[in-house]
Amino acid sequence: MYSEDLEYVQRILAGESELFESLVRKYNRMAGAIAFGIVGDFHAAEDIVQEAFLKAFRVLNTLRDPDKFKSWLAGIVRSKSLDALRRRPSQKPLEISRDVADRFPGGEALRFSSTAEDEHLREESRRKVLEAIEELPQEDRVVVVLKHMEGLSYKEIAEITGSTIGAIESRLFRARQALRKRLDPSKT
């Protein structure tokens, strides 16, 4: 099967280095989701993604199967994220853009209000969602972020994490239960 990634990689290696920007645009959100899922900090995740893309560009000629660029890049991001975690002295609180919490259960109900009180409720909801996600084990956090923030399929998540689809389904089920329990203890 011939893919767009294969064509881009071949053309980049042939000297059209400006095409790498297309791969960056295509996979930037996915890379950010992986990094955030591991380190739990959006600013650190941005730095990790930038480092990962720089490394991917520098060592693109080592990619054995250019059709697998996505998985290969995900591995680089994962490795850089784990390295960053090991170097970090302590866990920093999560920071998040205003709309991310709306992608989780219950958050979308607060999206359309406009008063100062409603804005306060939205901020409180975001904070609670972030705290709940932060409390998940790292592997569960990665799966939740990739599924619910990036909308990736189970197969894509399995490829990125090097796991099986069954393991992803199980991890996501447990993570959702834990989030429900933390976000609404009355529904346990």
pLDDT tens by residue, 89-148: 654 444 444 445 454 444 444 444 457 777 777 778 777 877 788 788 888 888 888 887
User: Are 182 and 104 contained in the same domain?
Assistant: yes
Under the phi-then-psi rule, with left for phi > 0, alpha for psi from -120 to 50, and beta for the rest, what region is 153?
Answer: beta
CA 63/CA 147 separation, integer angstroms: 26
Note the pLDDT of residue 143. 87
* Same domain? 126 vs 152: yes
Cα-only R_g, the chain: 18
Residue 95 domain-assigned (yes or no): no
Lowest mean pLDDT among 5-9, 22-26, 88-92: 88-92
Task: Answer with the one of 23, 55, 87 that is the final residue of a domain.
Answer: 87
Here the CATH number for the domain that contains residue 38 is: 1.10.1740.10
What mean pLDDT value characterizes the chain? Answer: 80
Same domain, 77 and 104: no
Residues 40, 80, single domain; the answer is yes
Task: Flag the least confident range among 81-85, 87-91, 126-130, 152-156.
Answer: 87-91
Q: What distance in Å separates the CA atoms of residue 176 and residue 170, rounded to the nearest whole number?
A: 10
Q: Are residues 78 and 139 in the same domain?
A: no
Q: Is 182 part of a structural domain of the chain?
A: yes
Domain hosting residue 163, numbered range: 100-187
58 and 108, same structural domain? no
Q: Per residue in 101-116, pLDDT tens?
A: 454 444 444 444 457 7
Number of domains forming the structure of the chain: 2
Residue 52 has a pLDDT of 95
- Which of the listed residues 27, 56, 87 is the one where a domain comes to its end? 87
Which pTM value belongs to this model?
0.63
pLDDT confidence of residue 105:
45
HEC states along 72-131?
A: HHHHHHHHHHHHHHHHCCCCCCCCCCCCHHHHCCCHHHHCCCCCHHHHHHHHHHHHHHHH
Choose between 96 and 183: higher pLDDT: 183
Give percent above pLDDT 90 in the chain. 31
Instruction: Please report the pLDDT score of residue 167 as a whole number.
Output: 93
Statement: residue 14 has pLDDT above 60: yes
